[in-house]
A and B are shown apart, each in its own frame.
Chain A
Amino acid sequence: MIKLDKLTILQGNFSLREIDVSIPQGAYAILMGKTGSGKTSLLETICGLRRPSSGRILINDQDVTRLPPSQRQIGYVPQDSALFPTMNVARQIGFGLEVRNVKTAQRKKRIEEVAELLELNSLMKRNPGGLSGGELQRVALARAISFRPRLLCLDEPLSSLDEPARQSMIDLLRAVHDSENVTVLHITHSSMECRQLGTLQLRLANGKVEPFEGLV
């Protein structure tokens, strides 16, 4: 279970004050919000890339507010994918395992498993340089789930994709959620994604998080 307890983020041009959210284990939470409402900052704070001004972040009742990102066990898929330019796809996927010193055989098995799930088998030897937007997102997603994180944070994973790619990505996200049994926090500005994927639907507005009651 992920719990944000009176989390306050003050940034130069906007602020999120005393956010209280609770996401149950295994849920697919979708947080809707307009561009510039601080969605990305919220995700980065949860991942540990940004410091909150006050409040706490709890994962399974463990306070991770002060933990460095590397010890939080959170998979993060940023909007720009931010793949490692000098690594091939296979190594990117295995990176989270490599830094945890997982044995090569075990790591190989897991990389193949994840690649299978996200249909990346044919790209394993390629560097991110020549990949399409959808492929980049899939690699970033594979990289974030390979080490079995406690929480998967997705920042607008569909926004840069065209229509057919978007539909297949939605299917993949659903497949990942089902087979990996991971808690997901997905932020977006599209209510369509919200309806299709979310088991828990939230909305960020006026610096507060509230249940999304649009078209349930």
Chain B
Amino acid sequence: MNLLKTSMSDAPTSSTTQPPPGNRNRIFWITMSGFGVMYLGLIVAMIFADYQYANWQDFKDLLGDPTVRFSVWLSLFTCTISAILSMWVAIPTGYVLARVGRDAINSRFANQPLMRRCLRALRYVIDTLLDVPIVLPPLVVGISLLVLFQTSAGRWLDGMTNEVFAALGFPGIQGITYEIPAIILAQFTVSAAFAIRTMRDTFEQIDARPEQIATTLGASHYQAFSDVAMPQARFGCVAAFTLAWARSLGEFGPILIFAGTTQMKTEVLSTTVYLNFQMGNLKGAVAASLLLLTLAIFVLLLMRFVALAGDDDRGIMA
């Protein structure tokens, strides 16, 4: 702000009526960066305040608790599973959405206006539906899942899962609802939507032309996808995976309702924060939040560095 004022008032005294272009550029960049810096400041201040509030002893107390250690591990396992499952859905779905977009429909059905309209409307509906888990309040996702698994099909699946776990030697896992599979399903429902969005954007950025040429060279559509499109999409994949992972780690509302908050059973790290807060242990809640935060930052950084190492063009940008 100061800089801006100084240069404005300096302007008339210089020989030209306008500030020199170098100066103007500097003002432009400072102003543009200013907004981001303010937001960055907010994030850093929040993290800093958390560290101020909880001391090292709170942290040690928290990690000394076997139920908390359980929730940390359960969080890590379930959100990695959810992220992998999300990628299984997101890569094919994102590819189909990107390649069967408006332009493709327009050119394929150039001479069938009705068909073209219907397909474009359908495409619009599909896009909207895929965004539902993103825009829906988290609690609604949880309630919907809970109700879904009370339908006859849901109950059947619940019973089947129970039997599968029993057959695998884990009779203690009783189906899906209020169990570990419920955590994963709740996380997956939301994180898959984010991953699909990311993958769709990624594939839309990738020119479809080389893939077409690959088919003229004798490649099947699968080969064109795996050899030509996928290698170009690797940064998008890293971004989608990290996004899905981070969403899953922070997922809370649906888990609360659909998986419950039983200690040593379905308690994940985000639930630990909530439980500590609800039971009046604010220091514990803050310490658990910090643990969540530290884990998230550490894993996100690690993912970006490891997955994108050796690529000078893109740096650590995913």
Contact = CB atoms under 8 A, between A and B. Distances in A.
A84 B223 CA distance: 13
Given A10-B110, A85-B232, A86-B231, A78 B219 contact: no
A82 B218 contact: no
A70 B223 CA distance: 11
Given A84-B228, A86-B231, A99-B223, A75 B216 contact: yes
A10 B111 contact: yes
Contact of B110 (A12, A71, A96): A12
Interface in A58-116: 68-76, 78, 80, 82-87, 95-96, 99-100
A73 B232 CA distance: 26
A124 to B, nearest CB: 18
B214 interface: yes
Contacts of A144: 216-217
Contact of A49 (B212, B219, B220, B227): B212
Contacts, number: 73
Contact of A76 (B106, B207, B216, B232): B216
Nearest to A47: B216
B217 A96 contact: yes
Contacts of A198: none
10 contacts: A51-B108, A75-B216, A78-B209, A82-B212, A83-B210, A84-B227, A87-B231, A96-B217, A99-B217, A143-B217
A75 B231 contact: no
B55 interface: no
A147 B218 contact: yes
Contact of A82 (B107, B108, B213, B231): B213
B215 interface: yes
A68 B213 contact: no
Interface residues on B, range: 20 to 34
A103 to B, nearest CB: 16
B110 A11 contact: yes
Contact of B214 (A11, A73, A80, A95): A95
Contacts of A147: 217-218
B110 A100 contact: no
Interface of A: 10-12, 47-49, 51, 53, 68-76, 78, 80, 82-87, 95-96, 99-100, 143-144, 147
Interface string B218-230: 1110010001100
Interface of B: 106-108, 110-111, 207, 209-210, 212-220, 223, 227-228, 231-232
A41 B237 CA distance: 34
Contacts of B218: 70-71, 73, 96, 99-100, 147
For the complex, would chain B's binding face be called helix, strand, loop or mixed by DSSP majority? helix
Contacts of B223: 99
A70 B220 contact: yes
B312 to A, nearest CB: 12
A68 B227 CA distance: 18
Contacts of B232: 85-86
A80 B207 CA distance: 12
Nearest to A80: B209
Contacts of B214: 84, 95, 99
A70 B213 CA distance: 9
B223 to A, nearest CB: 5
B216 A99 contact: no
Contacts of A72: 216
B99 to A, nearest CB: 13
Contacts of B212: 49, 69, 82
B214 to A, nearest CB: 7
Most buried by B among A11, A70, A76: A70
A76 B212 CA distance: 10
B217 A78 contact: no
A84 B206 CA distance: 11
Contacts of B231: 86-87
A202 B177 CA distance: 71
Contact of A70 (B106, B209, B210, B215): B215
Per CB-CB distance, the 3 closest pairs between chain A and chain B, nearest first, are A86-B231, A96-B217, A82-B209
A26 to B, nearest CB: 21
A75 B223 CA distance: 17
Task: Identify the interface centre among B209, B210, B216: most chain A CB within 10 Å of its CB.
Answer: B216
B166 to A, nearest CB: 45
B227 to A, nearest CB: 8
B220 A99 contact: yes
Contact of B216 (A11, A51, A69, A84): A69
A74 B213 contact: no
